[in-house]
């Protein structure tokens, strides 16, 4: 879709969905929610939260101003809506019991940060909490930092510190990039859908396949079989065929302000790994480029 914005970047206070047949951007409304009835698993993971009065509905998204490191702007999505991916593209991922647990755990951490929960179960409720996270933030920076805290809460603090101190410096970050790419592809499909590890060709023509680089940098004397195994599984990029988070929210603001920007910040600041995410708003795919620094905000094509 055509993406229009006023002067510079994004703020989280206005989020426009892509809806079929819309002739103009339709703002996401904030509606009062009753106290949810959660599953036993969700109830176990979710601590007691103070009740909050519901927000009153309005005819337009609230305009909130506050300090921000970025100039404010508004994100609009115009007709026609984002179409479904071509037939056969994007396999359907079927969640397991472990995936249900991870979803409940992630949602519980997000609810802790927001201080509010949706009455809707499962993934639909998660998206409503993410939308409330956007509304709560007074600036893009505040929303980003809130989402970063959610990601931090998913890991034992010492694990992040040790990973950044001990593993991130090895081979100029290539080993760490390979590790987090494999972990992301294996453990995050419950959130993003079907994804796979791949390689990416940089503008200078160099392919990012970290296994060969690791073998070369360390000059290790592996056996031939083990060396080939490392090089084969050394790709440090992840391709999401059809991001469920974007597909369910249909909101560019939620994608950018609660996923792309905070995830890039989290991996860099707390794990020592550069990450550049390239969401595709036409087919809902997303390319994770681990080991690649993100471009300046004013040149990032996802923010234009």
Q: Which two tokens stand for residue 221?
A: 């004397």
Per-residue confidence (pLDDT) for residue 58, from 0 to 100: 42
Please give the backbone phi and psi of residue 145, each rounded to the nearest 5 degrees, phi first. Answer: -65, -35
Tell me how far CA of residue 62 lies from CA of 26, 97, 267, 268, 297, in angstroms: 13, 38, 31, 32, 25
pTM of the model: 0.65
- Distance, CA of 302 to CA of 282 (rounded, Å): 12
Per-residue confidence (pLDDT) for residue 206, from 0 to 100: 54
Residues of the chain with pLDDT under 70: 1-93, 199-235
Tens digits of residue pLDDT in 33-85: 444 444 444 444 444 444 444 444 444 444 434 444 444 443 433 333 444 54
State the CB neighbour count (10 A cutoff) for residue 67: 8
Tens digits of residue pLDDT in 244-266: 999 999 999 999 999 999 999 99
Per-residue confidence (pLDDT) for residue 93, from 0 to 100: 66
Per-residue confidence (pLDDT) for residue 132, from 0 to 100: 95
Q: Which two tokens stand for residue 51?
A: 């009740």
Beta bridge partners of 299: none
Per-residue confidence (pLDDT) for residue 116, from 0 to 100: 96
Per-residue confidence (pLDDT) for residue 157, from 0 to 100: 86
- Distance, CA of 304 to CA of 75 (rounded, Å): 9
């Amino acid at each position: 879709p055509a993406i229009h914005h006023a002067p510079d970047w994004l703020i989280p206070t206005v989020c426009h969905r892509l809806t079929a047949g819309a002739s103009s951007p339709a703002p996401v409304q904030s509606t009062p929610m009753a106290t949810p009835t959660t599953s036993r698993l969700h109830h176990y993971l979710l601590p007691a939260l103070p009740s909050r009065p519901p927000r009153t509905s309005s005819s337009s998204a609230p305009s909130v101003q506050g300090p921000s490191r970025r100039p404010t702007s508004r994100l609009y999505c115009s007709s026609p809506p984002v179409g479904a991916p071509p037939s056969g593209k994007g396999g359907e991922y079927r969640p397991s019991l472990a995936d249900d647990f991870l979803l409940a755990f992630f949602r519980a951490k997000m609810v802790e940060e927001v201080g509010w929960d949706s009455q809707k179960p499962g993934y639909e409720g998660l998206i409503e909490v993410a939308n409330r996270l956007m509304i709560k933030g007074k600036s893009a920076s505040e929303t980003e930092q809130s989402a970063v805290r959610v990601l931090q809460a998913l890991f034992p603090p010492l694990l992040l510190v040790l990973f950044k101190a001990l593993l991130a410096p090895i081979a100029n970050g290539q080993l760490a990039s390979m590790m987090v790419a494999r972990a992301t592809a294996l453990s995050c499909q419950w959130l993003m859908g079907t994804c796979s590890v791949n390689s990416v060709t940089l503008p200078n023509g160099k392919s990012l396949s970290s296994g060969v680089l690791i073998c070369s940098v360390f000059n290790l004397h592996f056996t031939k079989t083990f060396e080939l195994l490392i090089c084969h599984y050394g790709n440090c990029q992840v391709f999401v065929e059809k991001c469920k988070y974007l597909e369910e929210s249909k909101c560019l603001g939620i994608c950018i302000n609660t996923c792309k920007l905070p995830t890039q910040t989290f991996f860099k600041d707390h794990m020592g790994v550069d990450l550049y995410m390239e969401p595709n708003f036409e087919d809902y795919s997303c390319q994770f480029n681990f080991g690649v620094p993100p471009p300046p905000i004013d040149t990032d094509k996802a923010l234009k």
